[in-house]
Every structure is written in C-alpha cells, then in structure tokens.
Amino acid sequence: MATNLTLWIGTRKGAFALRADAQRRRWRLGPPQFLGHTIQHIVQDPRAPRQLLLAAKTGHLGPTVYRSADRGRHWQEVRIPPAFAKSAEGQAARAVERVFWLTPGHASESGSWYAGTAPAGLFRSEDGGESWAPVAGLHEHPSFPQWAPGWKTPDGELLHSILVDPRDARHLYIGISVGGVFESTDGGSSWAPLNEGVAADFLPDPNVAFGHDPHCVTLHPLQPDRLYQQNHCGIYRLDRPERRWQRIGRAMPARVGDIGFPIVVHPRDPNTAWVLPMDGTSVWPRTSVDGRPAVYQTRNAGRSWQRRDRGLPRGQAWLTVLRQAMCTDAAATPGLYFGTTGGEVWASTNAGESWRCIAQRLPEIYSVTAAQG
Amino acid sequence: MTQVHIASPLRDYTHGASPVRAEGATLAQLLADLDRRYPGIRFRMIDEQQRIRPHIRIFVATREARDLAQPVAAREPVHLLCALSGG
C-alpha cells in the first residue's frame, strides 16, 4: 500500500500535483503551479524527501531551476542555473535552451544533483540545486563535438537518462539524443561510448561507436548491472560487465514493433519492465499503434512481452507518451502511471494489469514522476 | 539612472514593478546593475554566451539593441520586451 503518494506532472503550461489517498483509489488534482511556464521535470530528492527540484522555462525566457524545501508548496528560483562555460573565441558557443532532466546524486553525497540539458550538456550541483557547474570532463572531451553535434531536431539535442550507480557514486551513465549512451567510471572526468549492438539504421553507416538515439535508459536499483534502453531503433538490455546490448524488442509482436519513448523498471524485480509502444513507421507518427494504446510488460528481462491494455481505450486513441512521462511508485504492488501529450494521466495500481484515467484536460504532459512520503 | 520598462513575464523578479531604475552607460552595465537589484532576471534574457535570447527584444529609446555593447545615454528609457508567437 502506498501512502502519501504524489504524482508530479510537468506540462507545457505549468506543474500539477496529483495526490493519491492511501489506497491510490482517489486522486486529487491540485491547482496549477507556475501556470504558463514550461515545466519539463519535477523530481523529489530521495535523500531529503521534503526537497524537490523543478526544471522550468517560459516561452520567452531562458531556462532555470526552482527548488522546494516543503514538498512543493513553495518554490524558489535557484541562484545559479545550469549554464555552459563561456566559449573561447572561434569555438562553437553553446547555451542552455532547456533544462531537460534532473537526477539526484548518489545517496552518500547529500545535496548533489545532476542536470541534463538541450543542447546536450551535463551539469552538477553540490548544494541541493542552488548552484550548478558544467561537468567539464564531458564538455571538454575531445570527442564531445562529435558525440553531441548539436543536431537541430524539433525538441533539440537532449541529454537525459543520467544514471548513478547506487554502489559507486563515480560510476555514471548518460543518454544523448542524438549521440548515444556514454559511461564514466571516474565521476565524470572521462567518458566512453557504450553503444555496441544498438541499431542506428538512420545513419549512413549503422556500425558506429556513437551517433545512436537512446530515448530512455534505466538501470535497476537493486541490480545496477542490469540496464534497459528504449531506443529510436528498438528495445535493448545490457548486463554489465558486458558491453554489447541485446535487442530484447525482437520478442515484441511484429505488428506492434519496439519503438517508443519511455521504459520503466519494476522497483524490486530486475526482470520486470514496461514499455509503451508507438508507431515508428514512415513519418514517425509517434502515436499508439493503430490507435489502440497498450503497455507491454516483460517479466523475464525481455525474452517475452505481454500486452496490458485492460481499461485503456479500445480504438481511435492516438496517444503520445514522452520519455519522462511514465513512472512507477514504491508500493508493494507497484503502481504504474503515464501522462499523454493530450493531457491525460492514466494509472494502474496492479503493476499494469488494468488501467484507468485519473486526470484529463491538462496541458501537454512532458513528465510524470512519483514522490513518496 | 535609467528608467527600465519590464515586460510582464519578467515582473516576478521586480515584485510586479515596472518601470524600475538601474544604472549603466552600456546595456551590459545596465543589465548587470538590474541583476544586482533583482537577482536572476538577467539570465532569463541573456544567455551564457552573452547573447540576447531569441524571444527577447531590448530597445534603448526607440533603437533595438543587437548586443550588449549598445550605449545607453542619460535619460533614455530602456524597454525589455518579450516576443513570441504560437499558443
């Protein structure tokens, strides 16, 4: 049973708190906060649960971060938001357009956070998000201009899926869309690509070390050598110390395919994960396949997948769910939640078996995150 | 002292006030002083490479400033505008 569960919904027009009762049956939608601001990601600090960070931008204004010390009742803008170093004369001048992703640092490093941006940049805070500094080991890596060439994709070049190994604060993974997955074992001082086995069938040479398009990468908190990836070109699993990803999406039904944005792992079972397939054919509609939304679940690390669509619309439902808009909670039978770009939030309190809509008519949803306690 | 007119999306920083006053012989100096008075306001308009952000327009009197080197003469008002299309 979950208690005091809040889903934080980041939308194109503000932040919303959706609070559950103890049984997760009734949900109460709070009033908009930051109405009119673009809210990309809202993340609770598991080391200090009263604290949250929120990544914001406004149509006209530059990107910033807000901080709450009282579970999201009040927010204050941080003192120094993420910003690239001033470029030397003649060098490409990167400026943060959007703070896209927030990840709390290692449990042993209280107050540490990471932020990923568009265009791709990695930033670290050591004071609870009050001030941020670029992770120079990435930005000044001689290959960084090739790893993150600054492709002007519609939503920008994104750095996301910042993963901290719970056993080792210095062991990090990041995803860059488009760029690939990269790993550091020295706290971000040096980085190397980690993309073997991943398809990049949009490139002239698909057998490249980087240039891939990970949409969402996650590791299992209890088995941190187990990574899952929803990529532009399929679903993958990697069990370290192996370096070659296995395309577990091949076990998905061919008519559904293995394209999507989010991938979410069960909080306690490393063999269980969920994806939300989308239409990645022709011009990439990125909507539910055939207008029939479904979550797919694996319980054996991707050897097989089961369709989970009870309660979801049976047809004519052209949903899009972005990479940050699906999450679980920490309950014994985990809840699973997703938000759509059409402003609906869907919930399953039985690990995906059945679904119901718990909020609708919200602005375009960018992120759904669970906050406990 | 220069009178600085603040567009509504930026008035959270000035506690609702517009115009406000700031000092500087160039736009760079003026915005630095504005940020001392209203911390955080400058970065929402000027990126870390010292460029005016894409949806911000700055006028010194009736002249649109293209960069921060723009001189600001005494008694010339400065207008900070937000320009955006779409819904």
Kindly report, residue by residue over A25-82, the tens digit of the pLDDT.
999 999 999 999 999 999 999 999 999 999 999 888 999 999 999 999 999 999 999 9
Domain residue ranges in chain B: 2-82
CATH fold of B2-82, please? Ubiquitin-like (UB roll) (3.10.20)
User: pLDDT value at position A262?
Assistant: 98
Strand arrangement, sheet containing A365-371: A27-29, A14-20, A6-11, A365-371
Q: Which residues pair with A371 in a beta bridge?
A: A6
Q: How far apart are CA A339 and CA A333, in angstroms?
A: 20
Instruction: Write out pLDDT tens, residues B1-56.
Output: 999 999 999 999 999 999 999 999 999 999 999 999 999 999 999 999 999 999 99
Backbone angles phi, psi at A136, to 5 degrees: -60, -30
What distance in Å separates residue B45's CA from the closest CA in chain A?
Answer: 6
What distance in Å separates residue A173's CA from the closest CA in chain B?
Answer: 26
Tokens of B13: 């920083």
| Per-residue confidence band for A3, with pLDDT thresholds at 50, 70 and 90 | low
User: Which among A59, A79, A87 has the least Cβ separation from residue B84?
Assistant: A59
Which strand (E) or helix (H) includes residue B35?
A: helix B27-37
User: pLDDT value at position A1?
Assistant: 46
- Residue B74: DSSP 8-state: T
User: pLDDT value at position A87?
Assistant: 86
Cβ proximity of A233 and A245 under 8 Å = no
Report the amino acid identity of residue A256.
V
In chain A, what percentage of residues exceed pLDDT 70?
Answer: 99
Interface pTM, i.e. ipTM: 0.91
| Per-residue confidence band for A2, with pLDDT thresholds at 50, 70 and 90 | very low
Write out the residues of chain B at the interface with chain A, using a CB-CB cutoff of 8 A.
7, 9-10, 39-40, 43-51, 53, 55-56, 82-84, 86
| Per-residue confidence band for B74, with pLDDT thresholds at 50, 70 and 90 | confident
User: Which chain A residues are Cβ-neighbours of B48 within 8 angstroms?
Assistant: 83-86, 95-96
Q: How far apart are CA B58 and CA B81, in angstroms?
A: 6
* Average of per-residue pLDDT across A309-329: 98
